[in-house]
Amino acid sequence: MKKCIGVKVLTGVLTAAFLLSGCGSSKSDSGYMEAAATEEAYDSNGVYEYKTADFAEEPVNASGTESQQVVDTSRKLITTMNISAEAENLDDVLGSVNNKIKELGGYVESSNIYNGSRYSGRTITRDASLTIRIPANKLDSFLETVEGVTNITNKSQNVEDVTLQYVDTESRKKALRAEEDRLLEIVESAETVEDIITVESRLSEVRYELESIESKLRTYDNKVNYSTIYLDITEVTKFTPVEEKSAGKRMAEGFIDSCKSVLHAISELFIWIVIHIPQLFILAVFVTVIILVARKASKKKKS
């Protein structure tokens, strides 16, 4: 008799797990279809309107008319920016940028600063590459600071809408939570070890999938709440012009630059001579010896 009851319970457990799994999948699909349906909504004039799947409808009031429904139109947007900029003093700019990041509640995810070097007049410019996370609602304030302390040469922005993926993932999470609660109830009423093992095996699978889904949702939330900025700063002696200059201004600046280049070349030549005085002295002695030997040989031939 107990064996018969155990078989019935086991059959019931397997059937319930199968039905709950199917319900979870159907709920996930229905959640996705609901989100898709609300995404593609048009008003009476044929104008496209965006609406998320999460909304609450107020009850009918005393007069019998339906009150206006409250719709959550917030989207899950992931913003990523790439900025290339120039700075006359890299240290000062990095200080200003870091102070602004702390002020806005952001953080530097990664940084790479190259200090450069100088050798025989050749200058390797210093540069810095930063990956910065800034609260999405404070992104404009951060950009104003960067534009104020640097000369931006390139800026691009990408916005990814993950609302549908987020709603679908949340729907799947709710379905799994419901299945988890049902499995816990079945475990309490199970009478045999086999039944308990079967249900707990499925319960472990459900909980593992729940952890994966919750991790995915946390990743979405982090990317949505904090915008990502890839900032590359190069130290220069002169900013790249951002607009076309007149012919007269270009000639004047070109002449000044040429004079500076000549002075720089003379200065570098003097530095080079001072650095290589030992080599030049040895070379001069060697050339002098060769000239003297050649002259003596020439005199002998003539005599």
- pLDDT tens, 129-158? 999 999 999 999 999 999 999 999 999 999
Q: How far apart are CA 125 and CA 234, in angstroms?
A: 7
Amino acid 15: pLDDT: 54
pLDDT cut 90: percent of the chain above it:
42
Amino acid 163: pLDDT: 93
Q: Are residues 230 and 127 in the same domain?
A: yes
Query: Could you tell me which residues are beta bridge partners of residue 107?
Result: 133
Domain that includes residue 134, residue range: 77-161+226-235
Q: Can you say whether the dihedral through the CA atoms of 210, 211, 217, 220 is positive or negative?
A: negative
On the question of pLDDT at 269 being above 50, the answer is yes
Who's near 54: CB < 8 A, 6+ residues apart? 72, 167
Amino acid 242: pLDDT: 60
Exposure string over 280-299, b if 16+ CB within 10 A, otherwise e: eeeeeeeeeeeeeeeeeeee
Q: Are residues 107 and 230 in the same domain?
A: yes
Amino acid 11: pLDDT: 52
Q: Which is more confidently placed, 230 or 299?
A: 230
Select from 173, 204, 235 the last residue of a domain.
Answer: 235
Amino acid 115: pLDDT: 80
Select from 235, 262, 277 the last residue of a domain.
Answer: 235
pTM: 0.57
Amino acid 117: pLDDT: 55
Q: Are residues 41 and 147 in the same domain?
A: no
- Residue 241 falls within a domain, yes or no? no
Q: Are residues 6 and 135 in the same domain?
A: no
Looking at residue 227, its amino acid is S
